[in-house]
């Protein structure tokens, strides 16, 4: 029995060193070699600094609306709502988002609203949305900003990020970068 306890203590100490010292140090070193030293991609626009890898709240009609956040875009508290799809509060929140979207986009049918515009991601901080989520908002933005729809569709095409290695994941768009490009387009 003493032999087993001694072996368990040795294994515990080895694992503590591996997973509490070596592994975090290795991850930290890899992060330091990445762009911006592992602090994320920083975007500066109009004198303000943003992190493009964290979801931002865009709710004005002249912008592409971002994906909803279960944590109110607070990067200190990443997480989902953890409510079941049958939960009455969750269903009410989703229905409220649908109703709000339809009020601001009257030319769109409920069935045309992409799910990523009315549901939060697992982290609540997803900075991306689908190409369809951008395209469904084009009519509203074109009308408000007096920009041709074709110009906005071209902007969406230019800001679309392809799947990793062309096969992993869907096409997506970073909402912050798209809205900054939209502001730059409007200034021209």
Tokens at residue 110, please? 């409920």
Q: What is d(CA 80, CA 71) in angstroms, rounded to the nearest whole number?
A: 7
- The alpha carbon torsion through 79, 127, 131, 137 (nearest 10 deg) reads 90
List C-alpha distances in Å: 167 to 96, 131, 162.
35, 16, 9
Q: How confident is the model at residue 45 (pLDDT cuts 50, 70, 90)?
A: confident
Nearby residues of 66 by Cβ (< 8 Å), 6 or more positions away: 55, 56, 57, 58, 127, 129, 175, 176
E strands, 55-171, are 128-129, 160-161
pLDDT at 17: 94
Paired with 174 in beta bridges are 128
Average pLDDT over residues 80-90: 84
Q: The whole model's pTM is what?
A: 0.80
Tokens at residue 144, please? 């408000």
Paired with 128 in beta bridges are 174
pLDDT at 62: 94
pLDDT, tens only, 118-168? 988 877 788 999 999 999 999 999 999 999 999 999 999 999 999 988 889
Say yes or no to pLDDT of 170 above 80. yes
Q: How confident is the model at residue 179 (pLDDT cuts 50, 70, 90)?
A: very high
């Amino acid at each position: 029995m003493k032999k087993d306890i001694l072996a368990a203590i040795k294994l515990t100490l080895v694992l503590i060193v591996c997973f509490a010292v070596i592994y975090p140090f290795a991850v930290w070193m890899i992060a330091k070699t990445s762009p911006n030293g592992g602090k994320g991609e920083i975007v500066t626009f109009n004198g303000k600094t943003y992190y493009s890898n964290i979801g931002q709240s865009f709710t004005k009609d002249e912008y592409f609306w971002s994906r909803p956040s279960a944590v109110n875009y607070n990067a200190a508290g990443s997480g989902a709502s953890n409510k079941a799809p049958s939960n009455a509060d969750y269903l009410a929140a989703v229905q409220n988002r649908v109703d709000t979207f339809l009020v601001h986009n009257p030319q769109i049918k409920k069935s045309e609203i992409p799910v990523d515009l009315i549901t939060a991601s697992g982290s609540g901080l997803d900075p991306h949305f689908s190409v369809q989520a951008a395209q469904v908002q084009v009519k509203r933005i074109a009308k408000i900003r007096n920009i041709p729809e074709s110009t906005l569709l071209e902007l969406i095409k230019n800001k679309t990020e392809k799947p990793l290695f062309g096969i992993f994941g869907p096409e997506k768009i970073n909402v912050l970068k798209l809205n900054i490009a939209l502001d730059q387009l409007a200034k021209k």
